[in-house]
Amino acid sequence: MLRITIHDKLESLTFQLEGRLAGAWVGEVENCRQRALDGNYGVADRFDLAGVTFIDDAGKAYLAAMHRLGAEFVAADCLTKAIVAEIAKAPLSRPRASEARRAKTGVTELKCKRTTNEPAR
């Protein structure tokens, strides 16, 4: 069973999926997407996968095809995050701010020396 809810906003068209993205339901998602896109040219697709409990190979292939067309994904749990990362060939988590800053500046280690005007005890 799969529930498909369409959230139509000016900037995007979001397909909220809940349940199993498998088998014949994959084709039903595409049918809904095609009907929703009729007349909405240039609207970005988003797929909210937070309520998805299972994705089979056909579902993965469909999401990969949507990714190639520029679709964005919202993933909440380990399963959907891993599948989205596999599709997008991206890491599962973002680097911490300090790691990102080091990568950006090329600084691998920063040591600070504390100085004061007080005499040593």
pLDDT digits (tens, 9 = 90+) for 60-89: 999 999 999 889 999 999 889 999 999 888
CA distances from 18 to 54, 78, 93, 95, 103 (A): 9, 15, 23, 29, 38
CB 83 within 8 A of CB 60: yes
**pLDDT recorded at residue 101:** 44
Q: Which residues of the chain have pLDDT under 70?
A: 39-44, 90-121
Domains in the chain with CATH codes: 2-92 (3.30.750.24)
**pLDDT recorded at residue 53:** 94
**pLDDT recorded at residue 14:** 92
Q: Give the number of other CB atoms < 10 A from CB of residue 8.
A: 10
**pLDDT recorded at residue 42:** 58
